[in-house]
Amino acid sequence: MNHCKTPAAALRHAPPAPVPQDLFALPAPLLAPLLLGKILQVTGPDGAVRRARITETEAYFGEEDTACHAHHGKTARTAPLYEAGGICYVYLCYGIHSLMNVVSGPAGHPEAVLLRGVKGAPGPGRAAAHLHIDRSCNREPILPAGSRVALLSDGCLPLFRTSARVGIPYAAEEDRNRPWRFILIREEPMEDKIYTVSKIEGEYATLRDEEGEELFIALALLPANTDVGARLVCRDLSFYPA
């Protein structure tokens, strides 16, 4: 690996900008932690723009996932899950609450990331209500411009923890126990703290601190040739060999 290092501090203080569209091509379990710290922007029918930072997500992945709405196959309701990543899947829970999902991955494979919370509004129903998301947003493309919904980044590098998904008693035990729930702990790494690279998947790495908190980060923000087991220290929101 040979990655060009970009100062994380410069990204963190940048004005919010649209995320690259190829982000939505990632599989849901990989996309879900990457959505933490991102800013969801929703423009209402009245033209009012609302923004909130994403603080909690859950991944649902394929017909083989018994917790996924698509487990029983494609229906009129679940059809958006089978589209290419980068659109909204909004459904009603108990006929009352609208819940917002970001569809991910390639067309034909049903998967999505549920937004379980935003800053100031914990819980998927409260998060959607806070941003005035309703069923009219279903299938809405998530685009930098010309769409009601946009996903923005200001360079936030969130620390998070994982847990099993909640509210899925109907799913198989194996699926109930998958650690596909991602919860933001802090919006940026602690200065001078030591992190160990515990996993690398594609262009992303998971860093773990001594307390077990995790940070999901693009490899491009780490020193060149960083590999699993490497120890890094954070200074001024940039990472260096420890």
185-216 CB burial, b ≥16 within 10 A, e <16:
eebbbeeebebebeebeeebbbbebeeebbbb
Average pLDDT, the chain: 87
How many whole angstroms separate alpha carbon 56 and alpha carbon 116?
A: 5
pLDDT at residue 210 tops 50? yes
pLDDT at residue 18 tops 80? yes
Residue 13 is predicted with a pLDDT of 53
pLDDT at residue 3 tops 60? no
202: which strand partners? none
The dihedral through the CA atoms of 126, 63, 164, 103 has a sign that is negative
Q: What percent of the chain has pLDDT over 70?
A: 92
pLDDT at residue 11 tops 80? no
Residue reference for tokens 């729930």? 181
pLDDT at residue 8 tops 50? no
pLDDT at residue 202 tops 50? yes
CA 31 to chain centre: 5
Q: What percent of the chain has pLDDT over 90?
A: 61
Residue 4 is predicted with a pLDDT of 34
Q: What is the DSSP letter of 19?
A: P
Residue 53 is predicted with a pLDDT of 95
Residue 7 is predicted with a pLDDT of 43
How many whole angstroms separate alpha carbon 77 and alpha carbon 221?
A: 39
pLDDT at residue 195 tops 70? yes
Residue 213's pLDDT band, with cuts at 50, 70 and 90, is confident
The identity of residue 6, as a single letter, is T
Kindly report, residue by residue over 98-146, the tens digit of the pLDDT: 999 999 999 999 999 999 999 999 999 999 999 999 999 999 999 887 7
Show the domains of the chain with their CATH numbers. Answer: 8-185 (3.10.300.10)
How many whole angstroms separate alpha carbon 94 and alpha carbon 232?
A: 46
Q: Which two tokens stand for residue 193?
A: 């703290």
| Other C-beta atoms lying within 10 Å of the C-beta of residue 15 | 7
Long-range contacts of the stretch 13-17 (C-beta < 8 A, 24+): 13/154, 13/155, 14/154, 14/155, 15/154, 16/41, 16/51, 16/152, 16/153, 16/154, 17/152, 17/153, 17/154
Q: Which two tokens stand for residue 72?
A: 């029983």
Higher pLDDT, 216 or 208: 208
Residue 9 is predicted with a pLDDT of 45
Please say whether the beta carbons of 196 and 189 come within 8 A: no
Tell me the chain's radius of gyration from C-alpha atoms.
18
pLDDT at residue 14 tops 90? no
Residue 218 is predicted with a pLDDT of 73
Kindly report, residue by residue over 21-75, the tens digit of the pLDDT: 999 999 999 999 999 999 999 998 888 999 999 999 999 999 999 999 999 999 9
